[in-house]
Amino acid sequence: MNRCNPLLYLVTDRALAKGRPIENVVEQAVKGGVTMVQLREKDCPTLEFFNLAVLIKRILAPFHVPLIINDRLDIALAADAEGLHIGQHDIPYVIARKILGKDKIIGLSVESISQAREANKLDVDYIGLSPVFVTDTKPELSIALGIEGVREIASFSRHCIVAIGGINARNAVDIVRAGADGIAVVSAIVSADDPMMAAREIRQKIATFKQ
């Protein structure tokens, strides 16, 4: 179940869910074709985060979709999530791997060409290229990699590549064509009036290109 398939990777943000329970949005998105889910809730108290992780893991289990926890190693352990996503300033990969074990998925955010080269020294399961385009969900990242940045990193990276940042149904294929193994989306699904249909549209466009 915990094999990495980042073709359509959903990253959560309750603030963008239009008042709907995020677990409902996640379930609908997975029914539409999402292949991985990252629970990213920066302002969530620990107990609430844990309970939410357990709930979403239970929802994902019948679909065989792995749950990845953003930043919080303690929550990933406590909820027995399938993986952890870390940033450049989070717990070092080697420590996370030692604690989580070899069977868990660990992803690493990469925000530049140089960071992508450094990541080649690590045995992470995937790298998350961020941002491809500037986006309101990550306002602290003001320099976009762009399509050319994705293409350059894909030319030398030994890792599975997930692109994130301003991605939607209109530009998803361009990013996969540039060399990304998958795309991660936030608002394009979380804020959609119909998350299942939004996920299905993106998934179908990617699948058509990969055929």
Handedness of CA 2, 193, 180, 205 (dihedral sign): positive
Task: Respond yes or no: is residue 138 known to be catalytic.
Answer: yes
Out of 104, 109, 157, 203, the active site residue is 109
Q: Where are the alpha helices (DSSP H) in 135-177?
A: 146-156, 172-177
Give the residue from 85, 91, 54 showing the smallest Cα distance to 69. Answer: 85
Buried b (16+ CB within 10 A) or exposed e, 101-123: eeebbbbbbbbeeeebeebeeee
Residue 82 burial by CB count (10 A; 0-12/13-18/19+): exposed, middle or buried?
Answer: buried
3-state secondary structure of 127: strand
DSSP 20: S
Ramachandran quadrant class, 71 (left: phi over 0; alpha: psi -120 to 50; beta: rest):
left
* Cα–Cα distance for residue pair 9/30, rounded to 1 Å: 10
d(CA 198, CA 47): 31
- 117 as an active site residue: the answer is no
- The residue from 20, 31, 97, 138 that is catalytic is 138
Name the residues annotated as catalytic.
40, 109, 138
